[in-house]
Structure 1
Amino acid sequence: MGQDTSPLGTATAGMVRLGRLLQFSDSTLPVGAFAFSNGLESAIQTGVVADADSLADYVDLVVRQAARMDGIAFLHAYRAARRDDYEAVVQADRELWCRRVGEEQQLMLSRMGRKLAELALKIDAFPQLDRWLGDIRSGATPGCFPIGQALAFAHMGAEETEAFVAHQYGVAAMILSAAVRLMRIDHLATQRILFATQSRVEADYLEICAAGLDEMAVFAPVFDVLVAHHSKTHLRLFMN
């Protein structure tokens, strides 16, 4: 049968895709995000984050940083997956891994990436994720989480902009989920911050969508210091 071009068919064409994209970008997806705070724990311990306003500034910093580092690798992997260029996927994976500062940051990327691949393959057939997971297990590729997201979203037919939004949303949601457990802030305040953070996603995408892998770079010395601080902290709730 041909494609349904009726008004109803046009209106419902992306419903399944959207539903699955929402599932895979949900903050409760069991890929281990609950174990990581993306530096927030040290930010609170050192006084960098102390209230809702400073938390909002911190989330904005990390989301902006994620776009210019993880987001570039994510888009390259997504595009490579769409054209079935697996070698380019692995290249993006390795390039991102090499640019991540700190053992804990690398641990976050690799642990969540592997968990995402394992989860997806329990749900459905994801051929590229299956191959990627095999390479992770053999040590042929590091298995960074944004690359796993790119493979999953490409397989599900997500549009590039949809996929990028889902990636950026996940970064913010991870930090805000940790914030509720680490500081005196309620869910209403964190949801206000999350809502406001989404306003920057279009500008971030337009800034990096044409960037090459060699342009992945961020300058956030405070964040780097917080990451280093956390690795030496004796009392901590999160793995980074």
Structure 2
Amino acid sequence: MNLQLARLLHLASPALPVGAFSYSQGLEWAVESGAVTNEALAQQWISDALHFALARCEAPALIGLMRAWQAGDSAEVQRLNAEFIATRETAELRAETLQMGYSLARLLRDLPDMPDRIRETHAGMTEIAFPTAWAAAAAHWQLGEEDAATTYLWAWLENQVMAAVKLVPLGQTAGQRMLVALSPALTQLAATAIERADAQDWENFTPGMTLASSQHETQYTRLFRS
């Protein structure tokens, strides 16, 4: 098997012990409020978040961080990490990326093939965003930017679809239909993320998602942590 393919599958796997399955990023409140009540609405919600949040902010940050890790520029890693954390507009979104980043950094620390410079850079950071830790692994494993961005977007998409299946609720076949419908856009969205990283043009204007996340903080009954 191609080793790089195996590495991509490793990073995209729901078995990666970072707790991604426990977050909905406001989707749970959207269901509770009646904004998302069926498959079509769930697909639209996820598609909007994918296009306007992930491809415009999180994925470009990932690419920028990969480049900083590849260059061995710890100061730039820390700068981009702080900049990304500043884009998390609610307490839950901030806690999510920090918890997942901490968990992944701890995992990378225990993997035997990770170089000391990654461990040392992580050790010098009080807060580690999830894209920062993910980018460290992708850079060390010499994954291509387009493949890495596509894989990162796929992992997010799969997690959101499975959250929708549980919350709306929907059947497993509906979840698969959404994945088939939304996944063709990933290649172009990855290219968009790379272009934005080239221009250092991150944009995180997602008021609907932010409102949903903030409302979720006080939601009475919850399955998810965001």
After TM superposition, the score normalised by the length of structure 1 is 0.87
Inter-partner Cα distance in structure 2 for 1:193 and 1:129: 36
Matched, 1:57 2:57: no
Structure 1 residues 157 and 56, CA gap change in structure 2 (3 angstroms): same
Q: 1:238 aligns to what SS in structure 2? A: coil
More moved, 58-67 vs 105-114: 58-67
* One-letter amino acid of the counterpart of residue 134, structure 1: A
CA distance in 1, matches of 2:161, 2:111: 27
Q: Which amino acid aligns with 2:91?
A: E
Quick check: 2:145–2:194 contact (8 Å CA) kept in 1? Answer: no
CA distance in 2, matches of 1:54, 1:221: 18
SS at match of 1:124: coil
Encode CA deviations 1:94-121: one digit per residue, 9 max, x unaligned: 1111111101000000000111111223
* Whole-angstrom CA distance in 1 between matches of 2:27 and 2:169: 13
Equivalent AA in structure 1 for residue 209 of structure 2: F
- CA displacement, residues 125-148 of structure 1 (integer Å, 9 cap, x when unaligned): 323431233123xx2xx2110111
In structure 2, the residue matched to 1:131 is 120
Match of 2:181 in 1: 196
Q: Percent of counterpart pairs with the same letter?
A: 25
Moved over 3 A (4+): none
Give 5+ residue unaligned stretches, structure 2.
none
1:211 aligns with 2:196: yes
Q: Deviations over 1:202-223 (max 9, x none)?
A: 2223333232586321332211
Query: Does 1:222 pair with 2:211?
Result: no
Which residue is 1:32 aligned to?
19
CA contact (8 A) 1:72 1:208 kept: yes
Give the corresponding residue for 2:222.
236
* Other-structure match for 1:7: none
CA distance in 1, matches of 2:82, 2:137: 18
Distance in structure 2 (CA, Å) of the matches to 1:56 and 1:189: 10
Residue matched to 2:151: 166
Paired letter, 2:96: M
Residue 32 of structure 2 aligns to which amino acid in structure 1?
Q
**Gap regions ≥5 residues in structure 1:** 1-11
In the alignment, the residues of structure 1 paired with residue 183 and residue 172 of structure 2 have an alpha-carbon distance, to the nearest angstrom, of 17
**Partner in structure 2 of residue 76 of structure 1:** 64
Rounded to whole Å, the distance in 1 between the matches of 2:90 and 2:209 is: 11
Larger Rg: 1
Q: Partners in 1 of 2:121 and 2:37 — Cα distance?
A: 40
**SS of structure 2 residue aligned to 1:211:** helix
CA distance in 1, matches of 2:163, 2:112: 30
Partner of 2:10: 23
C-alpha distance in 2 between matches for 1:195 and 1:143: 32
Q: Which amino acid aligns with 1:179?
A: A
SS at match of 2:124: helix
TM-score w.r.t. structure 2 length?
A: 0.92
Aligned ranges 1:93-112 → 2 under 5 Å: 93-112=81-100
Indicate the structure whose relative CO is greater, using CA pairs within 8 Å and at least 6 residues apart: 2
